[in-house]
Amino acid sequence: MTAPTPAEVDAAMRLAIEEAQRVKGATYPNPPVGAVVLSSEGEVVGVGGTQPTGGPHAEVVALREAGERAAGGTAVVTLEPCNHHGRTPPCVDALIQARVAAVVYAVADPNPVASGGADRLRQAGIAVTEGVGAEAVQGGPLREWLHKQQTGRPHVTWKFATSVDGRSAAADGSSQWITSDAARADLHVRRAACDAIVVGTGTVDIDDPTLTARLPGGGLADRQPLRVVVGKREISPEANVLNADSRTMVIRTHDPHEVIRALSDRTDVLLEGGPTLAGAFLRAGVIDRILAYVGPILLGGPITAVDDVGVPSMARALRWRYDGVDRIGPDLLLSLVPG
């Protein structure tokens, strides 16, 4: 009996990460996990992602596709297989019953309720390897879920579109469009994968957004995030954000910490508010990631993406670091995390 080569395992992990990314947003409250089963010769015989709550986990989906070809093979998973009975049986049971020879996973499960899968597999005589593709998984499909496990609060991403000179609108207030169709399509994919989109009453009053996730053809995506409006100002009952396309929560506060508490049962929160709300969240220290879509235009004028962030001097600047720079059509997407 042969075994998959390291290159075949690495390729399988990349495929598992793609599968995890594909199901992201549809597995709440379970993490978005991807799994690939390789035969003993290194052939991909099963691929799966975690199904919606109550459905099978990624390993089970991949094992079902692999069938008898899983015996003697290798299961490659983005997260340590679970070892507890919830709405579904433990994934380690399915792996043991399938008679796989080895399990490779990227990230250990930090949840004490579900952890221990690796030890259980080893006790059953299955070879276990941890850490393959860990960085890509931690910064990719499991970023928000791992943050929630480690901190107990949702992961907050501040997203904004800006010109090269840092303006979010022209001097007359017009902002459609700073970035390209490709950048907006990318945003809609991210909206469909998140749990909630947050804006302020000012954005609702000025822009009247729908805050929905849409497909390239303009139709609604299958999954819509919760729409959250923050502020004490009354909004029109005719506002688009109150239409029937998705649920809407109105939180009458100016305190970002109250917003986070109100969304404590969520994992992935996308902040799309204007400069006032963005400044408040930055001052409160509750933003975990910045996504800046930068269009190749110059606008000048007074309208910036963020208002006061409580920085009186360069010595007190909020320091962030880049963890990704991507080209999307003519635009750049900058990803930053706290420095």
Q: Is there a catalytic annotation at residue 59? A: yes
Which residue matches tokens 């299961």? 75
Torsion of CA 298, 300, 302, 304, to 10 degrees: 20
Catalytically annotated residue among 59, 80, 144, 272: 59
- Domains in the chain, please, with CATH? 6-145 (3.40.140.10), 154-338 (3.40.430.10)
Residue 1 confidence class, pLDDT cut points 50, 70, 90: low
Cis peptide before 256 (omega within 30 of 0): no
pTM of the predicted structure, to 2 decimals: 0.90
CB-CB contact of 60 with 90 (8 Å)? no
Q: Render pLDDT for 111-167 as a digit per residue (tens, 0 to 9).
A: 877 678 999 999 999 999 999 999 999 999 999 999 999 999 999 999 999 999 999
Q: Render pLDDT for 199-240 as a digit per residue (tens, 0 to 9).
A: 999 999 988 999 999 998 889 998 899 999 999 999 999 999
Question: How many Å apart are CA 270 and CA 251, to the nearest integer?
Answer: 15
